[in-house]
Amino acid sequence: MSVSDMFAALQGALGLDQDIREEIRKEVQTLEQTAREILTLLQGVHQGPGFQHIPKKCQKAREHFGTVRTQMESLKTKFPADQYYRFHEHWRFVLQRLVFLAAFVVYLESETLVTREAVAEILGIEADRERGFHLDIEDYLSGVLTLASELARLAVNSVTAGDYSRPLRISAFINELDSGFRLLNLKNDSLRKRYDGLKYDVKKIEEVVYDLSIRGLNKEATVGAGGEK
């Protein structure tokens, strides 16, 4: 084979790879649009009247995740099944965003932490790496850390809305989450940096709880804690 033939073959391979990446980018753009729609919907809970409509907003978000599952099925067909990590960077960010949104919905519904397996089911992908397109552990953890920041914001807005028991529950949840992350030996620099930000979320929520205590509103919150979330 001549040098020209060798480089012509290489160019063909490069062109094929570029075509795959372009197809993936198109699918990721549709996922990003759906993620924005879910985020816009859920941001309504931060507004005063939003607390009264949490179940309805969660139900609507669940419907959007049906669209996500369809889009994920399409994305899976755009690259060889055994080359997940070769193209992972293209959908890594939107997948982490979707993990956060799924985790936020589950928290609003039950005030519990969604499992990686449950998130994978919500998104229509696999939890196990061996089964193909899956939810990477680090992507799951990144989404959970974004949830912590969102809950810190929710704690502040809960007080504004007159819901004094919610910050106490959020505080307990975030402290438990922080304890869980402390059990991990994180090697990933990006994930480690994001985890370092969790302490600021913990501090922010603690300040909200402390303010409630100083104003004597924590007693009211404790009394109302057994009521509707």
Tell me if 44 is assigned to some domain: yes
9 in any annotated domain:
no
Residue 224: inside a domain? no
Q: What percent of the chain has pLDDT over 90?
A: 69
**Would you say residue 153 lies in a domain?**
yes
In a domain, 221, yes or no: no
Phi first, then psi: what are they for 40, rounded to 5°? -60, -40
Residues that constitute the known binding site for Mg(2+): 150
Question: What's the CATH code of the domain at 143?
Answer: 1.20.58.2140
Annotated binding site: 150
The reply to whether 8 falls in a domain is no
Q: Could you report the per-residue pLDDT of 128-178, keeping only the tens digit for each?
A: 988 889 999 999 999 999 999 999 999 999 998 888 999 999 999 999 999
The residue range of the domain holding 27 is 22-215
Say if residue 225's pLDDT is above 70. Answer: no
Examine residue 1 and state whether it is found in any structural domain, yes or no.
Answer: no
Total domain count, the chain: 1
Distance (Å, whole) CA 190 – CA 180:
18
pLDDT of 223 > 60? The answer is no
H or E segment and range at residue 18: helix 3-42
Residue 10 is assigned to a structural domain of this protein: no
Residue located via tokens 């799951």: 140
Give yes or no for a contact between 144 and 103, defined as CB atoms under 8 angstroms apart: yes
For 53-118, the DSSP string reads GHHHHHHHHHHHHHHHHHHHHHHHTTS-GGGHHHHHHHHHHHHHHHHHHHHHHHHHHHSSPPPHHH
pLDDT band at 226 (very low <50, low <70, confident <90, very high): very low
